[in-house]
Structures are given as structure tokens and as C-alpha cells.
């Protein structure tokens, strides 16, 4: 499950790595409208899969898999890639405020239009185009970052401010890949969440989208989780 300011195509190279090893992968679009409604969408999608599922979430996608997975009987594990592993009653914004400021706070701006259907209140957020690579994806080539900047999926403020329900990491084993140079979710926040969920943890040198810049290393990390089942 992808996060804010991104889309499912970010998993392309990871999917190739996993499917070449015989793993069936799915990468549905994250609506980015509200945590409850996004989690309900994911839950419906996963419920239709025949067989055990390991959910993988990046960034805000981690909040979605946390919120959705408690009640999914076919989920067996959770993998977080520089992602929000929220606790009950916690929001992405509230958790982020407990740690040093990031470039997300500098360059994520409200759009000049309402967030639209499916949200409870507030506008959407988008990252300033001229600062997108610096804040979001400093380790991908400039020409790739330029395309990512103009194709970014905006997130409703309501999604980032909505509190999580009882999270799935309390009932499922979890894995956490920390991005050491992340400018969106502070690495200290990532390590805090990983420690709190008692996740099997590793670190990768890279930006918030280190999983795009380092797909083989990330796929190997996901494979290490799959090997447990």
C-alpha cells in the first residue's frame, strides 16, 4: 500500500523482484481520502484474496495497513517501509509532531481547492514542485523525480489527522525498514515505531523513497518476512 504524494507504480521494481521469486504481489491504489475509508477499501481488497497475505505499507500506507489488518483473518504479517505504525488513538500528524521537524513540514502545502468527496474536512496537501526531490526522493535521478513531482497523488489533511483504531501490529508479527536519510518521516520517529511494535528491524541508507532507489534490498527485506511463514 503506497502512501501520500506517491502511487502504486513506486513498487514496480519490487514487484518484479518478488514475482521472479514466485511471490504473487498486488499493489492497489490508496484513495488517500481518510484513514477509516482507505482502510475499509484495503480490507475489501484483501478479503477477496484466497490465501495468506503479508501486507506492505510505505509512509501513510503503514497507517492504512495498521488500521485495516486487525480484522482480516487472512493477514499473517505486516511490513513497514519508512511507514507510520500508529497506535490506537494516534494520528500521523500527532505522532510526527513528537519528533524533530522534517522537510514535509516546510514544503507540503494546502491546495487551493477542497479535498472533495470521501473526506470529513479540510483541504488536500501537495509538495511544492521545486522542492519535491529534496524533500521526498533525493536519491532518485532528477528526471525521475521531475515526473514524480508532477504526478504526485495529493493526500487529504483529514487522512493524516484521523486517529488509528486498534492496530494490527499488536496481533501480527511485524517488520520495519528504516530509511536513514528520510526527510518526510524523521528516522527517530521510525525507530520509535519499530521499537514499540517489537518489529524485526533493518535500516537502508536513503530518502523517504529508498524502496524505489533500492528495490533489490527492499525486496530482500520483504522476502525475509515471507520466509517466516
Average pLDDT over residues 124-147: 96
- For residues 176, 177, 181, 182, the Cα torsion angle rounded to the nearest 10 degrees is -60
The predicted structure's pLDDT at residue 120: 52
DSSP 227: T
Q: Where are any strands of DSSP class E within 66-215?
A: 75-81, 108-114, 123-127, 155-156, 174-179, 200-204
Total residue length of the chain = 229
Average pLDDT score over the chain: 94
Angle of CA points 152, 165, 184, to nearest 5°: 30
Calculate what percentage of the chain has a pLDDT beyond 90.
89
Beta-ladder partners of 155: 125
pTM above 0.85, yes or no: yes
Mean pLDDT (whole number) for 54-72: 97
Amino acid at each position: 500500500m503506497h502512501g501520500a504524494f506517491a502511487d502504486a507504480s513506486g513498487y514496480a521494481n519490487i514487484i518484479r523482484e518478488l514475482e521472479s521469486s514466485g511471490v504473487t504481489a498486488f499493489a492497489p491504489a490508496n484513495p488517500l481520502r481518510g484513514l477509516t475509508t482507505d482502510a475499509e477499501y484495503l480490507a475489501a481488497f484483501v478479503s477477496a484474496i484466497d490465501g495468506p497475505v503479508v501486507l506492505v505499507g510505505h509512509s501513510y500506507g503503514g497507517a492504512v495497513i495498521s488500521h485495516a489488518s486487525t480484522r482480516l483473518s487472512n493477514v499473517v504479517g505486516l511490513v513497514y517501509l519508512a511507514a507510520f505504525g500508529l497506535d490506537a488513538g494516534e494520528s500521523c500528524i500527532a505522532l510526527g509532531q513528537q519528533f524533530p521537524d522534517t522537510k514535509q513540514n516546510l514544503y507540503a502545502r494546502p491546495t487551493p481547492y477542497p479535498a472533495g468527496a470521501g473526506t470529513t474536512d479540510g483541504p488536500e496537501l501537495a509538495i511544492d514542485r521545486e522542492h519535491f526531490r529534496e524533500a521526498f526522493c533525493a536519491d532518485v535521478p532528477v528526471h525521475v523525480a521531475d515526473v514524480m513531482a508532477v504526478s504526485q497523488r495529493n493526500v487529504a489533511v483529514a487522512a493524516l489527522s484521523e486517529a488509528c483504531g486498534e492496530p494490527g501490529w499488536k496481533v501480527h508479527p511485524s517488520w520495519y525498514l528504516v530509511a536513514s536519510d528520510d526527510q518526510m518521516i524523521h528516522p527517530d520517529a521510525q525507530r520509535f515505531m519499530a521499537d514499540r511494535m517489537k518489529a524485526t528491524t533493518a535500516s537502508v541508507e536513503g530518502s523517504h523513497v529508498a524502496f524505489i532507489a533500492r528495490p533489490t534490498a527492499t525486496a530482500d527485506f520483504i522476502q525475509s518476512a515471507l520466509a517466516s511463514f
